[in-house]
Amino acid sequence: MADIGGGSRNAVGSGIGVASYAVGSGIGVAPYAELTFDSDGDVDRATQGAVARMEATDLLVFAHGWNSDRSTATRLYDRFFAPFPGLVGSGVRLGYVGVVWPAMRFADEPIPDFDAPGALAEPGFGTALNPATRRALGEFWPERGAELDRVADLLEERPDSAAAFIEFGALVRELAGVDAVPAAFAPSVPAIFTDDVLEVCRALSTALVRAGAPAPAEPAGPGLTVGGGLRGLWGGAKELLRQAAYYKMKKRAGVVGERGLGPVLTELAAARPALRFHLIGHSFGARVVSFSLRAVPDRARYVKSVTLLQGAFSHYAFADRLPHDKSSGGTLRGLQRRVDGPVVACHSPHDSALKIFYPLASRMAGDSAGLLGFDERWGAIGHDGVQAVPGAPRLSLETALREGVPATGCVSVDAGSVVRRGGAPSGAHSDICHEELARVVVTAGRMGR
């Protein structure tokens, strides 16, 4: 089982070792506690106990996204939670909960307000792995040191060789674990791990340029032949490595939500029936909190709102029927009905991670539209909001703050007026620490003055 960043190890529950950290460290609001989960969704019972002891009427439960280690997650929670004490009504006593689950921080990917301004101004997106990213990859794949060393060597050397790309593609497939997928489930593996690796790296290199990264120093010619500028495709190869990590984190986020956070919230609600929960998730953290709804019993009323910030999962997730397949529904179809309040999906057109890379990562092998073509079936909820849910309104951020949001059901809020800053390759994906978004949470939860 994976640790999250550093910290001491202790035995909890049935003797399973998970990461444990000091409660409340570095957070400017109170009471604050963390819920810590391992990669299998097992909770650190000490952290659950700290949450259970909170004196509060309403708990804000926030799950971080993919580009996070524990330090980054703590800073995110501190910054995002800061406005809330001045926004809620006198009858509301807030408790603040940070969900910590094992993602990883790509240290060469700038985060607005967290990294130096120069990191945003100069999107120098080189191919070599910096030391912090290499260490994080080693923690994320602790049994794959030799493979990661070879991957790092190839990204630094950038051989002008088709054979080197084939080797790189095979290594990434091993890291992603797609070779272990049974043949019967092969269609569920994204095309970026099954298609010709040179075509994939060309597509990802083109996507990086679209996202604002510098054009390759040695652009590839019209053919993908040795000597035809293959060194210019190693930026795409590095993005393929990122996608392998995202692929693993996507699956992990669902597990942590359904098997970890959801059951923990159910236990807390059973012990404290009057406690109201407001779930918040960023990126894959939006997947964590949404999948936790699978563990909410029918007719339960303890989840009072869900706010998704740049959610990295399908915009059709809550649909009863898919537009392209009327016999199927979204993976979370109907679960908005388990929320005694609204499910608010905040989205932004300035999010390059979800506008450009998420569709590429989500396409299934054998899709006839081609790797670079955009098919709306693969769109992210954080790019264009909730889709194919009848009656789900679409609001501007200004309208939502002025007039409020519906009392129940799904609603999309275009937050592009504030979620707009960030460097390549993710754009504004992590630009979420704004008082306006805190006010959306308060409005959704009916906690305002």
Q: DSSP string spanning 382-420? A: HHH---S-TT--EEEHHHHHHH---SSEEEEEE-TTTS-
State yes or no: pLDDT of 364 exceeds 90: no
Q: Render pLDDT for 268-287 as a digit per residue (tens, 0 to 9).
A: 999 999 999 999 999 999 99
Tokens of 20: 């444990």
Q: How far apart are CA 86 and CA 342, in angstroms?
A: 22
* Residues β-bridged to residue 344: 307, 411
| Confidence (pLDDT) at 359 | 72
Average of pLDDT values for 122-148? 83
- Bridge partners of residue 281, in order along the sequence: 63, 308
Please tell me the distance from the alpha carbon of residue 178 to that of residue 344, in angstroms, as a whole number.
33
Residue 177 structure tokens: 């674990």
* 138-168 tens-digit pLDDT: 988 999 999 999 999 999 999 999 999 999 9
pLDDT of amino acid 24: 42
Quick one: pLDDT band at residue 69, thresholds 50, 70, 90?
A: confident
CB burial readout 370-399, b (16+ within 10 A) else e = ebeeeeebbbbbbbbbbbbbeebbebebee
